[in-house]
A and B are shown apart, each in its own frame.
Chain A
């Protein structure tokens, strides 16, 4: 019941009711990426979709699956046996708006203290 209500009202977590319904009716599970996102296609291999593991965040899809999702390729990454280059870093989802977001030097969100600016004055301190 709780799951049902959540799927009815919460669109930003995992899947909505309609996606769940469609996945159950038509979906064919083709693979799961290293973050646990599940990828589906319909029987005719016409439509492709993803059910996120956690928050719905498009940038959570790693590059290989991104290619498959956007019909750039039909080869599934888990069947491709791709060897990453030395310089390739592990994929991270866009952290904007999260705790891990980047805050430039001087941002109040960085450490709660603002950086020195030229207009600052030096206050007198007793000894």
Chain B
């Protein structure tokens, strides 16, 4: 700790603080353009100038100068800085005047207008008029891919975008060329940026040089209704803000959540919104003959009710990747009420079982916990595309310290260096038995993390045993490495779907002789299952289900809707309040930003209405009552933003090495990052991203 005087006020700050941080600790705001908390310090905009006593007799950039760089006074008095003197005022005016020399005055047609740092700071600190009469500089616009629109004349060369792409996103595709007036931000060659995080540079750019291409000219920030909710595109549940106007989602922005996404979100999360307006199921459909025809709710529900009554307990239900906890709970109760246990929310051939402890299926070390870790082993996952923000955390930790990382699985670019340990189950076995080279490194680590991909424990083409073997061996590796301790639980299962952990938490898995998703589909094909509910389930093989009555409850017309006999239109994640449990086991809740389109209803309400028609009325009439029942049964779900920890000894019991394993290659289940769910598949922007990526890869070859 060291003492410093800010505007005459004596405060005590840690000695690694910069002057800017010290001023902020004293409650003084310092304007800035280039400085950003999560990026390296560039010190090139000079907006943050302050006056320093005891230093050189010129203004100093407070973001780049440390408190300990200042000399104390002759008698050891603390150093002094000023943020409100005439010198500082003049310096700020000067900086802004220089910046505005080459900045176009096109705020009325600029998308950044209303949320522009330059606009705000010119108002607050700038001069009221311009003395510049010469011609302004003009810079050619660059192509950065389908997501980013560039108007490079507006660039003020803060280099935030360059620093973000190189430091956080881990791509070296953006840089600053030339100097002085000729400086330009450029991707060097005309090609889309290859990162899945590029959308963040739109937020970072303090001016309107980089704006969102799909959002261009569609809305102004002050006319948007902001709803703070969470994302369901992956299993992390990043904090987002949904900006809507009327009944339309206009854009999605990140919110700060230090535990999960810091302040970034992936491109899929950010740009999926146009999918919310396309391919929507907005009215019930009923299959008549070979064709699906429009119906009303009464007709559709009565038909389903009649079928359920006839089916007895030959009923099944599969929950898809985007289902919320409430609707799965309601559906579970409905299926149970007719005496069936055929419910499943897992991918085919998953090794996870109903009676397993929570610790086995959540990401125990937590995402923020990655920063504490000193060794990471990834088994059968591609975190970059399965959970982009988790990958960002790993990269951040890897940049900050010496972090050995091992990967079993496909050799892919993860944006950081890792040791490739093999691709098949034998490598996992070698690690489990301790005969692998990497074991030594794991042994030495104090806080090792073992990340197991969901794909590795649910190998659809193999038997259930293979997945189970990988799970138990991974637990063994974790145990041997000392990752299963009371003070450090380093075993993390990485899910791919937002619905998964919630479903597992409320037991949306078959027990007592119920059939799993794959078994249900098998039965259905043989005609031994009379009716099957698909709660937004599109990721399964739904071919040849003619012998079964298929009820699809969901928001988008995707694979499931095509195979359905009755479609009951439901709400997407921005249109309902639902609980989602993320991969860490953290309970989170979405909020409604807009209403579902047309006649669509919230999922739980559909199920409740159905229950009334088969005379098995579910005991709740509104969402609050449903949640009351849910909380009574699963108390941990009421602790929003909390994680109920796993039980270490229960996890240890599952750790073992099977004698015989069948050989398989470990592959990430994500084939196309931009198209992992029905909403993304409906989105035109995502389709463009896929095209851009193909073009880029074609050019690379």
Instruction: State whether the Cβ of A93 lies closer than 8 Å to any Cβ in chain B.
Output: no
Interface residues of B in 262-279 (CB under 8 A from A): 276-279
Instruction: State whether the Cβ of A112 lies closer than 8 Å to any Cβ in chain B.
Output: no
User: Could you give, for residues 524-560 of chain B, a 1 whenever the CB lies within 8 Å of some chain A CB and a 0 otherwise?
Assistant: 0000000000000000000000000000000011000
Report whether B280 and A118 are in contact in the complex, using a CB–CB cutoff of 8 Å.
Answer: no
Query: Which chain B residues lie closer than 8 Å to A123 at the CB level?
Result: 280-283, 597-598
User: Could you give, for residues 107-122 of chain A, a 1 whenever the CB lies within 8 Å of some chain B CB and a 0 otherwise?
Assistant: 0000000000011111
Report whether B248 and A118 are in contact in the complex, using a CB–CB cutoff of 8 Å.
Answer: yes
Report whether B247 and A119 are in contact in the complex, using a CB–CB cutoff of 8 Å.
Answer: yes
Instruction: State whether the Cβ of A90 lies closer than 8 Å to any Cβ in chain B.
Output: no
User: Could you give, for residues 65-80 of chain B, a 1 whenever the CB lies within 8 Å of some chain A CB and a 0 otherwise?
Assistant: 0000000000000000
Instruction: State whether the Cβ of B291 lies closer than 8 Å to any Cβ in chain A.
Output: yes
Report whether A124 and B280 are in contact in the complex, using a CB–CB cutoff of 8 Å.
Answer: yes
Report whether B281 and A121 are in contact in the complex, using a CB–CB cutoff of 8 Å.
Answer: no
Measured in the bound complex, the distance between the Cα atoms of B281 and A122 in whole Å is 9
Measured in the bound complex, the distance between the Cα atoms of B442 and A125 in whole Å is 54
The residue that A122 contacts in the complex, of B248, B280, B292, with Cβ under 8 A, is: B280
The residue that B245 contacts in the complex, of A119, A122, A124, A125, with Cβ under 8 A, is: A119
Question: From B277, which residue of chain A is reached at the shortest CB distance?
Answer: A121
Query: Which chain B residues lie closer than 8 Å to A119 at the CB level?
Result: 245-248
Instruction: State whether the Cβ of A104 lies closer than 8 Å to any Cβ in chain B.
Output: no
Query: Distance (Å) between the CB of A6 and the closest chain B CB?
Result: 50
Instruction: State whether the Cβ of B361 lies closer than 8 Å to any Cβ in chain A.
Output: no
Instruction: State whether the Cβ of A84 lies closer than 8 Å to any Cβ in chain B.
Output: no
Given known pairs A126-B291, A126-B292, A126-B562, the reply for A121 and B285 (CB within 8 Å) is no
Report whether B556 and A124 are in contact in the complex, using a CB–CB cutoff of 8 Å.
Answer: yes
**Tally of B interface residues using CB under 8 Å:** 22
Query: Distance (Å) between the CB of A118 and the closest chain B CB?
Result: 7
Query: Which chain B residues lie closer than 8 Å to A126 at the CB level?
Result: 285, 291-292, 557, 561-562
Measured in the bound complex, the distance between the Cα atoms of B277 and A127 in whole Å is 18
Report whether A124 and B248 are in contact in the complex, using a CB–CB cutoff of 8 Å.
Answer: no
Measured in the bound complex, the distance between the Cα atoms of B555 and A122 in whole Å is 12
Query: Which chain A residues lie closer than 8 Å to B279 at the CB level?
Result: 122, 124
Measured in the bound complex, the distance between the Cα atoms of B562 and A127 in whole Å is 9
Query: Which chain B residues lie closer than 8 Å to A120 at the CB level?
Result: 277
Query: Which chain B residues lie closer than 8 Å to A124 at the CB level?
Result: 279-282, 556-557, 561
Measured in the bound complex, the distance between the Cα atoms of B210 and A109 in whole Å is 43
Question: From A125, which residue of chain B is reached at the shortest CB distance?
Answer: B557
Question: From A120, which residue of chain B is reached at the shortest CB distance?
Answer: B277
Query: Which chain B residues lie closer than 8 Å to A118 at the CB level?
Result: 218, 248
Measured in the bound complex, the distance between the Cα atoms of B247 and A122 in whole Å is 13
Query: Which chain A residues lie closer than 8 Å to B247 at the CB level?
Result: 119
Query: Distance (Å) between the CB of B279 and the closest chain A CB?
Result: 5
**Tally of A interface residues using CB under 8 Å:** 10
Measured in the bound complex, the distance between the Cα atoms of B597 and A122 in whole Å is 10
Report whether B597 and A121 are in contact in the complex, using a CB–CB cutoff of 8 Å.
Answer: yes
Question: From A121, which residue of chain B is reached at the shortest CB distance?
Answer: B277
Report whether A121 and B278 are in contact in the complex, using a CB–CB cutoff of 8 Å.
Answer: yes
Measured in the bound complex, the distance between the Cα atoms of B247 and A119 in whole Å is 7
User: Could you give, for residues 44-84 of chain A, a 1 whenever the CB lies within 8 Å of some chain B CB and a 0 otherwise?
Assistant: 00000000000000000000000000000000000000000
Query: Which chain A residues lie closer than 8 Å to B597 at the CB level?
Result: 121, 123
Given known pairs A126-B292, A126-B562, the reply for A121 and B246 (CB within 8 Å) is no
Measured in the bound complex, the distance between the Cα atoms of B561 and A124 in whole Å is 9
Query: Which chain B residues lie closer than 8 Å to A127 at the CB level?
Result: 291
Query: Which chain A residues lie closer than 8 Å to B278 at the CB level?
Result: 121-122
Report whether A121 and B245 are in contact in the complex, using a CB–CB cutoff of 8 Å.
Answer: no
Query: Distance (Å) between the CB of A8 and the closest chain B CB?
Result: 52
Measured in the bound complex, the distance between the Cα atoms of B50 and A10 in whole Å is 83
Question: From A126, which residue of chain B is reached at the shortest CB distance?
Answer: B292
Measured in the bound complex, the distance between the Cα atoms of B390 and A35 in whole Å is 81
Query: Which chain B residues lie closer than 8 Å to A121 at the CB level?
Result: 276-278, 280, 282, 597
Query: Which chain B residues lie closer than 8 Å to A122 at the CB level?
Result: 277-280
Query: Which chain A residues lie closer than 8 Å to B291 at the CB level?
Result: 126-127
User: Could you give, for residues 160-197 of chain B, a 1 whenever the CB lies within 8 Å of some chain A CB and a 0 otherwise?
Assistant: 00000000000000000000000000000000000000
Measured in the bound complex, the distance between the Cα atoms of B557 and A118 in whole Å is 21
Interface residues of B in 242-263 (CB under 8 A from A): 245-248
Measured in the bound complex, the distance between the Cα atoms of B281 and A125 in whole Å is 8
Question: From A119, which residue of chain B is reached at the shortest CB distance?
Answer: B248
Query: Distance (Å) between the CB of B536 and the closest chain A CB?
Result: 14
Measured in the bound complex, the distance between the Cα atoms of B572 and A124 in whole Å is 14
Measured in the bound complex, the distance between the Cα atoms of B277 and A57 in whole Å is 48
Question: From B281, which residue of chain A is reached at the shortest CB distance?
Answer: A124
Query: Distance (Å) between the CB of B262 and the closest chain A CB?
Result: 32
Query: Distance (Å) between the CB of B73 and the closest chain A CB?
Result: 63
Query: Which chain A residues lie closer than 8 Å to B282 at the CB level?
Result: 121, 123-124
Question: From A122, which residue of chain B is reached at the shortest CB distance?
Answer: B278
Query: Distance (Å) between the CB of A53 and the closest chain B CB?
Result: 48
Query: Distance (Å) between the CB of A52 and the closest chain B CB?
Result: 46
The 8 closest A-B pairs by CB, nearest first: A124-B557, A119-B248, A126-B292, A121-B277, A122-B278, A123-B282, A124-B279, A121-B597
* Besides A119-B245, A126-B285, A127-B291, 7 new A-B residue pairs in contact (Cβ under 8 A), listed by A number: A118-B248, A121-B276, A122-B280, A123-B282, A123-B597, A123-B598, A124-B281
By a beta-carbon cutoff of 8 Å, the part of chain B in contact with chain A is 218, 245-248, 276-283, 285, 291-292, 556-557, 561-562, 597-598
15 A-B residue pairs with Cβ-Cβ distance under 8 Å, sorted by A, are A118-B218, A119-B245, A119-B248, A121-B276, A121-B282, A121-B597, A123-B280, A123-B281, A123-B282, A123-B283, A123-B597, A124-B279, A124-B280, A124-B561, A126-B557
